[in-house]
Amino acid sequence: MRKTTATLADGRQIIYYDESDGPRRVPHQDRRELPGPAPGSELRRDPLTREPVVVAAHRQRRTHLPPTDQCPLCPSSGGRRTEIPSPDYDVVSFENRFPALSGDQGRCEVLCFSSDHNTCLAQLGAERVRTIVDAWADRSAALAEQPGIEQVYCFENRGPEIGVTLHHPHGQTYALPFVTPRTATVLDSARAHREETGGDLFEDVLAAEQNGPRVVARNDHWTAFVPEAARWPVEVHVYPHRHVPDLPSLDGTERDAFAELYTDLLGRLDRLFDTPLPYVSAWHQAPVRQGRDRDLSRLRLEVFSVRRTAEKLKYLAGTESGMGVFINDVAPETTARRLREACP
């Protein structure tokens, strides 16, 4: 993989990740006339839960479901200039023009998976997934070095049912100035588990699932399973067999093995209802500055969907939105069996 860094017209950084071994990429100049950087977000804290809330009013003006010929994530061509000045690319990362976090409040980046507007990650193949993992690992390492950053979150939202505003295949990377509430809660559980049993929470979860009815797929380095207490009608967790805290810590063999397994898993998810599955795919990485918590934490991927049948979506009801108590209409064992059966 070859990495080339350039600057967009308004000063934002853009990075190309090329798979070919051809000549060095010469970045095309961004000739657009763009306004200055977006105003900074405001970070507030709920006094009842002590959880952070980001207020980013400028995002009301962000691009929303444009037609294909106006997609800002396609490569520039002819007289149409987009966020990517080059007429082609493999994988590219750049600072979000409408970030939820910016300045001393953090950073938000977009990661485009392909220049092809009409494809999706499930169709791109293991080689491209490996490039994407390498890019996310590279950005995670770089963003973790920025002052004030406590956690780096890499994720993909797919499908209008999830709330996606751009159909082009892409993910995002958030550099957060705080440890997320979900991570803090899980770390509290891991800490309590170690104090009570002397064991590793994630190792014990993985061991309990390895040969059980909820495993969907596995190889020598990764296991994908539906968790026993799945909140969503479709939910799959993917654990590395080696205890690593984050994406940069994965070695080449583990990255290759993940690319193969994840490509297979995404295909199964789309075959589950014979239609592209809307999902959130979320990488959980350890906090970047808390040494003891990094030892407690473990890299893992969680993929979940709001689709519960081919015709029905799950909407959060009163107990879920109001109290955080999820009610799953589908048994996790049933979802795992159906995914195992969803062969090509």
Helix, strand or coil for residue 4? strand
Helical spans, DSSP H, in the chain: 121-124, 126-144, 181-197, 201-209, 252-272, 291-296, 318-323, 332-341
The answer to the question of whether 167 is labelled as a binding residue is no
Helical spans, DSSP H, in 273-315: 291-296
Distance CA(29)–CA(326), nearest Å, equals 49
The answer to the question of whether 168 is labelled as a binding residue is yes
Residue 170 annotated to the active site: yes
Q: What angle do helix axes 126-144 and 252-272 make, rounded to 10 degrees? A: 120
Distance CA(149)–CA(175), nearest Å, equals 6
The answer to the question of whether 284 is labelled as a binding residue is no
Distances (CA, A) of 102 to 21, 111, 187, 264: 34, 17, 26, 36
Annotated active-site residue in 58, 64, 167, 170: 170
8 Å CB contact between 168 and 117: yes
8 Å CB contact between 306 and 161: yes
Helix, strand or coil for residue 85? coil
The answer to the question of whether 120 is labelled as a binding residue is no
Determine what percent of the chain falls in helix, strand and coil, rounding each to the nearest 5. 30, 25, 45
Beta strands in 67-166 (DSSP E): 91-95, 107-112, 151-158
Enumerate the known binding-site residues for Zn(2+).
71, 74, 117, 168
Enumerate the known binding-site residues.
71, 74, 117, 168
Catalytic residue ranges: 170
